[in-house]
Structure 1
Amino acid sequence: MTTEPMVSVVIATYNMGQYLPDAVASVLAQSWKNLEVIVVDDGSTDDTSDQMERFSKDSRVRYFPTENRGQPRAKNRGLKEASGEFIAFCDADDLWDPKKLDVQMPHFKDPQVGVVYSEVTYIDQDGRAISKPQPYERHSGKVTNNLVIKNFVPFGSAVFRRECMEKNGCFDEELPMGIDWDLWLRYSVDWNFTYVKDVTYIYRIWPGQMSKNYRGRYDNAFRILNKFISNYPGAVPEKLKSRAWADMYVSRGMAVAGGERIFFEPLKNVLFGLRFDFFYWPAWRALAKLVTRRI
């Protein structure tokens, strides 16, 4: 009889038949044995259902084919079906390290810790390792002030308490992108986060991934930040709100500059960011890059 608490692992998938079996197998290969895998098929038109047949006799795996309704609804369906005391995710084209839960679960001995996340590594479409620098500094403890500036939590690396979901909600189904940042911001208000330096999540970068829609991503990021500040007015100090807006405009400007090689629209974004926080040095660094065309 295991004394390990149950971990429910949700895999929302859409046309990922080529990679999904490896993702499921990597979760089942955990040294932590008390787990279940909930696969929500968001209306796939490929061979996903056929691929899932290999797991039909494994009682730890449950497969839910649904109509195509988008990833927030698919993930929420998985959360609805989850029975575990703890919940985690794995994207259908990614992998877990076999020791992931053994490494992260002990940190929940602190009842104030709601989310434990880890470091990631990268592979290409054929499973070969890719060297890629980590873009953001990681943080532990009360992380709202850091998280409101950047989403530094790699989504698939995180494990969280069921109580977080019960107290602070599931994914916002009105958001097509950025749903994890929205979730972590809400959870950060009432829970501590713990960062584990171990690499426990393997992220696959391949040509068939969702397109890099940076304009859409930032449109949603503005919505998320505005929603969070409106719903939790006392969660961050006023000065930090200004810095968050400054960073948002600067980041959008630089994303557009890098993606489209244009000048005036990004310049307006960076200057607008400086109006929010004149002393935000990344804005000045971005301005220098724009002016010297080092994008």
Structure 2
Amino acid sequence: MGTTPLVSAIVTTHNRKELLPRALDSVAVQTYPRLELVVVDDGSEESMESLVNDYKEVLSVQYLRNEQPQGACRARNQGIEAASGAFVAGLDDDDQWDKGRIKVLMESYSDGYAFVTSDVRMVYKKGSPIWRKKKRITLDDLLYTNYVGNQGLIKRERLLEVGGFDETLEAAQDYDLWIRLADRFGPIKNVQKPLQNVYLDHGGERISNPRDQLHGYFAFYQKHKEKMNESQRKYQLYNIRKATGKVTRLTDVCGWVPLHRLWKEVKSLLGGTILS
């Protein structure tokens, strides 16, 4: 046991009392032998402490509570800062791990990769298609789009080294972190097995505030655009423009519109309030 690294499972939650037990149950049944549970309650109207404490019989548990919501990024950073594990693995409070997820990810981990993730089941009311990802996700891949998704298993010291989640961003916070980790530590390894369920079949309140999401994504784009080539910049701007409902096909924008014109169109669609 002394040579088996401790992994901290970090679950951030906000007003999800009905859904949270599913996530915590999936942590409690992991086959990996050394696991800590860190729950950050980000200002839920009703404390989750008694619910979380029920897991102390099977897990080492930390419960942190913000009396007022601080936002998803701050809550996740609080979990990382409080974690005792050499590795951390995030889990959204409405999602669920397969019981072998952490064991498989730890067996697949190598320091030659920034971190390790896996394929995912996307659970809808009418089915559960599998999101199959590339075995090796490079920085160049990520500068086009977020091939990782929203979770991985990562060395805690690496997260601290790159500064954790950017608390100034209002959107694409996970995506931003993956780019910084890949830029610093190399490509991401993906286990091509679906080891997590991401539930999209409910209308519960989300920890992320949807306010100004497009402006937040544009701020993300501005933060990383110097790393991007022209094709990557166009694709990113296309996705922002598409989200406004002003374009339906990639070729409508990326095929012939010059980059500077596309940038001006996106800026205009967002109200002209974006800094150059």
Instruction: Give the TM-score, by structure 1 length.
Output: 0.77
Give the drift of 1:97: 0.4
Given that residues 41 and 63 in structure 2 are in contact (C-alpha distance below 8 angstroms), is that contact kept between their aligned partners in structure 1?
Answer: yes
Letter matched to residue 80 of structure 1 = E
Q: Are residues 154 and 221 of structure 1, via their aligned partners in 2, closer, same or farther at CA, if it must alter by over 3 Å?
A: same
Give me the whole-angstrom Cα distance separating, in 2, the residues matched to 1:179 and 1:219.
13
Is the 1:71–1:176 Cα contact (8 Å) retained in structure 2?
A: no
Unaligned runs of 5+ in 2: 262-276
Hey, what's the Cα distance between the residues in 1 that align with 2:111 and 2:207?
39
Question: RMSD value over aligned CA atoms?
Answer: 2.9
1:254 and 2:242 matched: yes
Match of 2:266 in 1: none
Give the letter for the 2:95 counterpart.
D
Residues 149 and 33 of structure 1: CA distance in aligned 2, closer, same or farther (over 3 Å): same
Report how many residues are paired. 256
Three-state SS of the structure 2 residue aligned to 1:90 is strand
1:137, distance to aligned residue in structure 2 (A)? 4.9
The CA deviation at 1:270 is 7.2
Q: 1:12 to 1:86 in 2, by over 3 A?
A: same
CA-to-aligned-CA distance 1:179-225 (integer Å, 9 cap, x gap): 10110010001223101101111111112254999894332222112
Q: Which amino acid is the alignment partner of residue 160 of structure 1?
A: I
Which of 191, 194, 198 is equivalent to 1:196?
Answer: 191
CA contact (8 A) 2:41 2:47 kept: no
Query: Which residue in the other structure is 1:32 paired with?
Result: 32
Deviations 1:126-160 (A, max 9, x none): xx7723363x853516x11110110011213x101
Query: Which stretch has the larger CA shift, 97-106 or 48-57?
Result: 48-57
Q: In the alignment, which residue of structure 2 is the partner of 1:105? A: 106
Give the distance between the partners of 1:137 and 1:195, measured in 2 at CA: 7
Distance 1:169 1:94 in 2: 25
Aligned to 1:266: 247
Tell me how far apart the structure 2 counterparts of residues 199 and 150 of structure 1 sit (CA, whole Å). 20
Q: Greater relative contact order: 1 or 2 (C-alpha under 8 angstroms, separation 6 or more)?
A: 2
Question: In the aligned structure 2, how far is the partner of 1:3 from the partner of 1:132?
Answer: 37
Written as runs of structure 1 = structure 2, the 5 A alignment for 1:76-91 is 76-91=77-92
Alignment match, 1:165: 159
Partner of 1:131: 128
TM-score, normalising length: structure 2: 0.82
Identity, % of aligned pairs?
26
CA distance in 2, matches of 1:95, 1:74: 19
Structure 2 SS opposite 1:184: helix
Question: What corresponds to 1:275 in structure 2?
Answer: 258
Shift of residue 272 of structure 1? 5.8
1:43 aligned residue: 43
Residue identity matched to 1:169: G
Question: How many Å separate the matches in 2 of 1:199 and 1:5?
Answer: 23
Higher helix share: 1
- Contact 1:70/1:176 (<8 A) preserved: no
Query: What residue ranges of structure 1 are gaps of 5+ in the alignment?
Result: 258-264, 279-295
Question: 1:283 matched to which residue of 2?
Answer: none
